[in-house]
Structure 1
Amino acid sequence: MIRMKRKKLWASCLCFAAAFFLLVTLQVITELGNSENKVAVISSLRGGPLTPVERHALQFKKQELHSSFKTESAVNQYPILLWWSPLTGETGRLGQCGEDVCFFTINKTYQHNEMTRAFLFYGTDFSIDSLPLPRKDYHDWALFHEESPKNNYKLFHEPTITLFNHTATFSRHSHLPLTTQYLEGVEVLKSLRYMIPLQIKNSLRKRLAPLVYVQSDYNPPSDRDSYVRELMCHIEVDSY
């Protein structure tokens, strides 16, 4: 009797294991099928065929996976924008440049590629000892620097800043000023969400100044502290 019970138990375990194995196998086959039909699924979800840009991107990804030679051939079809600073960490990506498609990369081996059209620099990492020279007539240089000028003071002298065809910094003189880069929209300025009634403001004036000066560093090169000290001679300022 004991032996028969053991045999029944083993038989039940084997049946359960076989059923579990078949279930897992079926799921794997289903996932593989979904992967093969990924492009068709994306197209159906969008309610129409893929756009030319999406087709280019998918084609490039397939080429990148299968052959470095094919990847090189595909890249040569598009203008190359080379990040001279490894800011993005992207070894290769197709992206929109207005209505066109461009290839973005941090791979410096593309420096002398005939399709390279622009070099992108991150201000903090910019060094005059490491530049993509010689510079071709059709090479544009672009600067992105949202940090303080003191991070790299060389950039804010005329001989250096004039090296760039395009600039995006905190300065209002930049081609793309980043002064309001964290501003979500005009509505944020119009919102009354944080507005305090005048009665409460007048009460707070008994212990708080009408102005507040908040800084994360002391005595910076801009000498802003001297300006605030002078301002304090004319109006109360709380400094933090």
Structure 2
Amino acid sequence: MRPWRNRHLSIALHLIIWLTILVICWNIFRAGDKPRKDKAKDKPTEVLWWSSAMSWSYDEIRTCGIHKCRFTNNRQRLSQAMAVLFYGSNMKMHDFPLPRLPQHIWALLHEESPRNVPFVPFNEFLRHFNYTSTFSRHSDLPLTTQYLPGVSELTTMKYFNDFYTKSFHFTHVIFLQSDCDTMSGREDYVKELIRHIRVDSYGKCLHNKDLPPSLQEDYLNRMYSTELLNFFKHYKFMIAIENGICNDYITEKFWRPLVAGVIPIYFGSPTIKDWQPQNKSAIYVDDFPNAAALAEYLLFLADNQTEYDSYRQHKLNSANNIDNKRLIENIMTRYYQIDETQKEGSSLFQKFECAMCQRLASSEKYKSADVRHYECPLPPIHAPLSNKQEPHHAEDWRSMMEVGRCQAQLLDNFFQANRSFTQEQFEQKLYEC
């Protein structure tokens, strides 16, 4: 029996020794592997800007919340990128990163109307993007109220002139625009309005009066300067017609007169009443058959304090300045609004970058955009002119948007084929469209 016991004892000892060796090796392996895992964990997610307009070298590692990303415009790093970012106004139809790799998330930032990129509003184009940041409330990162600095600017009495102080000014209506070729037919409508009521036009478009010398330089880039708002406040009405008509496309043209205690004469977003601070905050051009009817109403309001001030309850009703819950909620939850102080990290592009960095780290399922992310009625809508006339450039804008439809369909074909193409190839197909 003893040899049998010795043999089994020997086997047991060998098993113990081998198990001990295995445990030691496993611990050594794990100890050696851990730094590699930590290193992989610390490696920033790569995000690539695909923009030919960025002529400078851009490569920056930044922390967004708890996540770290590397933002670059170095196209040589396309294969390492997890997301490709596009800025709408700078997109070139023949310049997209094709073939598209399986890991590539496409994200579109475009805060403007479609006048420069007529192919954007169409579903054939939009469905190839996983995320968007546009003016639409249906966008993943909406910019609907980006031009409104905040609630306090709407309610402040800093720039408020009472009705009688404004009445000392012979002219009641101000117009300040430099673009005189718009999809909305703004310039044609204002021409008609001027026939019925005096309008002080300070911009390059329909110019008939000069700004004070201190405001003439760079007023376009000082949208909410104290000096400019103090100048506006003397007027009773301000023409606020957008250059393009899209749902939720609302610029400073609407918000700025409200901040200055001036009533906007608005034409633009068909959904504008969803965003006004009170149920009665602006005069809407499309509530009148033509400019003559609007002028008649303006002259009535200019001589009627009660009716005039009924449009300024966001200033005068201190108990309930803002009666729009949607507007308040949007301002409290939005991820971006203009910041003229230009503080570090406050630009629209940096906000978009960080938002995408955080989205890439989340478990949220990737989806496709659609026309709701950039909703513009087609053919383009224009302000109502007398005798149902059309603006001077209406046919040009309609033609441009029809070309945009063809462009979107062609891009859709190339994207689905997932192969690169040249400018000549695209233009040849467009000619055949």
Q: Does the 8 Å contact 1:79/1:101 carry over to 2?
A: yes
Q: Residue 196 and residue 203 in structure 1: after superposition, are their counterparts in 2 closer, same or farther (change >3 A)?
A: same
> Hey, what does 2:292 align to over in structure 1?
233
Structure 1 residue 190 corresponds to structure 2 residue 190: no
Structure 1 residue 93 corresponds to structure 2 residue 152: no
Q: Provide the C-alpha distance between the structure 1 equivalents of 2:108 and 2:66, rounded to a whole number of angstroms.
A: 22
> Hey, what does 1:82 align to over in structure 2?
48
* Deviation for aligned residue 1:182: 4.1
- 1:214 maps to a residue whose letter is L
| Unaligned ranges ≥5, structure 1 | 1-72
Q: What's the secondary structure of 1:221's corresponding residue? A: coil
* Deviation for aligned residue 1:93: 0.8
* Deviation for aligned residue 1:96: 2.6
Q: What's the secondary structure of 2:100's corresponding residue? A: coil
Q: Provide the C-alpha distance between the structure 2 equivalents of 1:217 and 1:154, rounded to a whole number of angstroms.
A: 22
Q: Residue 143 and residue 104 in structure 1: after superposition, are their counterparts in 2 closer, same or farther (change >3 A)?
A: same
> Hey, what does 2:79 align to over in structure 1?
112
> Hey, what does 2:9 align to over in structure 1?
none
Q: What's the secondary structure of 2:294's corresponding residue? A: coil
* Deviation for aligned residue 1:119: 0.5
Q: Provide the C-alpha distance between the structure 1 equivalents of 2:47 and 2:55, rounded to a whole number of angstroms.
A: 12
Scaled by the length of structure 1, what TM-score is found?
0.56
> Hey, what does 1:25 align to over in structure 2?
none
- 1:129 maps to a residue whose letter is H
> Hey, what does 2:111 align to over in structure 1?
146
Q: Deviations over 1:168-221 (max 9, x none)?
A: 2334443223343343322111211111111112333x4323xx4433212312
- 1:83 maps to a residue whose letter is W
Structure 1 segments, 4+ long, off by >3 Å, are 86-90, 170-173, 222-231
Q: Deviations over 1:73-130 (max 9, x none)?
A: 99x92211000015494531111344210110000001112xx111111112112311
Q: Provide the C-alpha distance between the structure 1 equivalents of 2:54 and 2:111, rounded to a whole number of angstroms.
A: 13
Q: Provide the C-alpha distance between the structure 1 equivalents of 2:66 and 2:150, rounded to a whole number of angstroms.
A: 25
Structure 1 residue 131 corresponds to structure 2 residue 190: no
Q: What's the secondary structure of 1:177's corresponding residue? A: coil
Q: Does the 8 Å contact 1:141/1:163 carry over to 2?
A: yes
Q: Does the 8 Å contact 1:79/1:102 carry over to 2?
A: yes
- 1:147 maps to a residue whose letter is E
Q: Residue 192 and residue 88 in structure 1: after superposition, are their counterparts in 2 closer, same or farther (change >3 A)?
A: farther
Q: What's the secondary structure of 1:112's corresponding residue? A: helix
Q: Does the 8 Å contact 1:118/1:139 carry over to 2?
A: yes
> Hey, what does 1:220 align to over in structure 2?
182
Q: Provide the C-alpha distance between the structure 2 equivalents of 1:222 and 1:162, rounded to a whole number of angstroms.
A: 27
Across the aligned residues of Structure 1 and Structure 2, the Cα RMSD in angstroms comes to 3.0
Q: Does the 8 Å contact 2:180/2:186 carry over to 1?
A: no
Q: Provide the C-alpha distance between the structure 1 equivalents of 2:188 and 2:125, rounded to a whole number of angstroms.
A: 28
Q: What is the correspondence of 1:52-91 to structure 2 with a 5 Å cutoff?
A: 77-85=43-51, 86-87=53-54, 89-91=56-58
> Hey, what does 1:102 align to over in structure 2?
69
Q: Residue 227 and residue 139 in structure 1: after superposition, are their counterparts in 2 closer, same or farther (change >3 A)?
A: farther
Q: Provide the C-alpha distance between the structure 2 equivalents of 1:87 and 1:100, rounded to a whole number of angstroms.
A: 25
Q: Residue 140 and residue 172 in structure 1: after superposition, are their counterparts in 2 closer, same or farther (change >3 A)?
A: same
Q: Residue 176 and residue 90 in structure 1: after superposition, are their counterparts in 2 closer, same or farther (change >3 A)?
A: farther
- 2:158 maps to a residue whose letter is R
Q: Provide the C-alpha distance between the structure 1 equivalents of 2:113 and 2:105, rounded to a whole number of angstroms.
A: 24
> Hey, what does 1:16 align to over in structure 2?
none
- 1:92 maps to a residue whose letter is D
Q: Residue 154 and residue 220 in structure 1: after superposition, are their counterparts in 2 closer, same or farther (change >3 A)?
A: same
- Aligned with residue 168 of structure 2, among 196, 203, 228: 203
Q: What's the secondary structure of 1:95's corresponding residue? A: strand
Q: Provide the C-alpha distance between the structure 2 equivalents of 1:140 and 1:182, rounded to a whole number of angstroms.
A: 28
Q: Provide the C-alpha distance between the structure 2 equivalents of 1:166 and 1:88, rounded to a whole number of angstroms.
A: 25
Q: Provide the C-alpha distance between the structure 2 equivalents of 1:161 and 1:222, rounded to a whole number of angstroms.
A: 23
Identity percentage of aligned residues: 37
Q: Provide the C-alpha distance between the structure 1 equivalents of 2:175 and 2:135, rounded to a whole number of angstroms.
A: 19
Scaled by the length of structure 2, what TM-score is found?
0.33
Q: Does the 8 Å contact 2:79/2:101 carry over to 1?
A: no
Q: What's the secondary structure of 1:104's corresponding residue? A: strand
- 1:133 maps to a residue whose letter is L
- 2:123 maps to a residue whose letter is E
Structure 1 residue 157 corresponds to structure 2 residue 119: no
